[in-house]
A = this chain, B = another copy of it.
Amino acid sequence: MLYPPRRILEDTNAPPKFGSPKDIANAIDELKSAFTGETGAQELVNTKVSTDPDDLHTHGFSENDHFPGMSPSVVIYPSTTEEVATIVRIATKYKVPITVYSGATSLEGHYRAHSTGGICVDMSTMDRIIAIHEEDSDLVCQPGARWMDINEILKEKGIPLFFPIDPAPGATIGGMLSTGCSGTNAVRYGTAKGEWFLNATVVLPSGEVIKTRRRSRKSSAGFDLTKLFIGAEGTLGIVTEVTIRLAPLLPTTVAVVQFPNVQKATEAVADVLNTGVGIQCVELVDDIFIDAINRYGMSARKYPVADSLFFKFQGPTPASLKETAKIVKAVAERHGGTGFQLARTKEDADALWADRKNAHYAGLAIMPGAKGWPTDVCVPVSKLPQLVYETKRDIAAAGLLSTIVGHVGDGNFHALILFKTDEERERTKALVSRMVKRAIALDGTCTGEHGVGIGKKEYLVEELGEGTVQLMKTIKKAIDPLGIFNPGKLYPDDSPSQGKPGEDH
């Protein structure tokens, strides 16, 4: 069969019309009978197809963000690619929106259901490691596998490799791919948009199953379709199997150093990276974050309250780590760095790094009872000091409080803005909007690693331009002509003045 079938193509220019409540009810009935299996056993249906209200609520709500909850009509727990294809065919038949859920660590409302409800596909039970190719440094797994579990399993098996993309702890491979995520290791290993996802098996909106690429590390056989699904946030298909590349697990150690200000710290980082020493991570934290860590009470240390850098060094031998520490200390001191501390033992390194990693909970603890609005932006590295300076001034002027933590080697930073009342939440929202516009004005992006979801979609035209966003929509329409894959996420809403496609303006 040619893709896409004509009956779908005919709808290409129509705005999405989703199924009615009756269509959704029919889709659920059909899903139930599809998942009964040959035995017709009701228990099997109940574990695979859920309309339990608590289950629906869990799948349409997140503690991590502040967008209104929106429950799906049904949650399905598939086990195989074929089952996902069945779900997609039924969703297409009844034009029912279809949204994927896995680690639930997203921060921008990515897995909220559509306002008409729809089907939530929970991939968390598709979490198997299918093959480990140690000799090729790659691994094949299902999308619900968690990166931390994968690294733990490799360690248990005595395989000295790891997957270096490190977003939030509970994140799954499928969610990481779909968000185009990264983390503290990006300064050394790059992001999900680099070359860590070798291929993906995807169920397309047509119900067809494709594999984007083979398993060789490189290929120049045309444009790489794997990349199309990285950052597509489930709007172009459902990923059901992934091959990821692994990196050698190397000895590391940790150091911390204080600076007079963010400008000096950022300049030091640029110089450190240019020396070519083994830097696995370099994290900027501001004075407010340090104060939060000191008060949080989980650390044996009391840090000087100043803008600081946490480094994780990596190298093949203890001698190389020592050399790196010596070089970094000298560069830092040339830029006004003080109090350089290198971890004395492995335990000490772990403790230092844990202090950095406690950012979220330490940040929340500085205002008991407050909620935190997490957000991230990214700019060319040299613009980071200006962005941080102006943002901190703006936060203070707005009468709000926020810690700032930055993946400074990439020009990426996170704020966790604290609020208690509805009025403060609105002030926070406005503050985030100004921060995003400031980042875009500095040739940056509305999100370095959290993705667009609901929260950032209004900024895409300002960041990328109308033509670029239209090209994204053209591709979306060609692949998902019914518009049922995670509707309302990523792409900016059409403005009423845009009219219908095909009309001249």
Contacts and interface: CB of A to CB of B under 8 A. Distances in A.
B214 A220 contact: no
Contacts of A262: none
A417 to B, nearest CB: 20
Nearest to A267: B135
Number of copies: 2
Nearest to A278: B276
A191 to B, nearest CB: 6
A463 B224 CA distance: 13
A181 interface: yes
Interface string A467-483: 11011101101110000
B230 A224 contact: yes
A477 to B, nearest CB: 7
A-B pairs, 5 with minimum CB distance = A478-B478, A219-B445, A227-B227, A180-B220, A135-B382
Contact of A323 (B274, B319, B411): B319
A3 B467 contact: yes
A245 B412 CA distance: 16
Contacts of A317: 323, 327
A4 B474 contact: yes
A1 interface: yes
Given A180-B219, A210-B464, A277-B316, 8 more contacts: A136-B381, A193-B227, A213-B445, A216-B444, A218-B449, A221-B451, A223-B472, A474-B478
A180 B2 CA distance: 27
A45 interface: no
A232 interface: yes
Contacts of A465: 210-211
A222 B231 contact: yes
Contact of A190 (B138, B194, B222): B194
A216 B379 contact: yes
A275 B316 contact: yes
Contact of A215 (B179, B194, B273, B443): B443
A204 interface: yes
Interface residues of A, number: 116
A320 interface: yes
Interface string A310-332: 00001111011001100100000
B209 A467 contact: yes
Interface stretch (A396-404, A421-429, A497-505): A497-505
Given A138-B380, A220-B231, A380-B136, A214 B471 contact: no
A147 interface: no
B276 A315 contact: yes
A381 B137 CA distance: 9
A44 interface: no
Of A192, A273, A276, A456, the most chain B CB neighbours within 10 A belong to: A276
Contacts of A204: 467, 471
A306 interface: no
A392 interface: no
Contacts of A468: 210-212, 225
A233 interface: yes
Interface in A7-28: 9, 12-13
A410 interface: yes
A206 to B, nearest CB: 9
A221 B456 contact: yes
A463 B278 CA distance: 37
A2 B223 contact: no
A71 interface: no
Contacts of A228: 223, 227-228, 475
A344 interface: no
A444 B382 CA distance: 40
A282 to B, nearest CB: 13
A195 B459 CA distance: 23
Given A467-B208, A467-B210, A381 B217 contact: yes
A447 interface: yes
Contacts of A179: 220
A407 to B, nearest CB: 8
A61 interface: no
A6 interface: yes
A270 interface: yes
Contacts of A223: 180, 227-232, 236, 472
Contacts of A212: 464, 468
A432 to B, nearest CB: 15
A446 to B, nearest CB: 6
B381 A135 contact: yes
A77 to B, nearest CB: 25
A285 interface: no
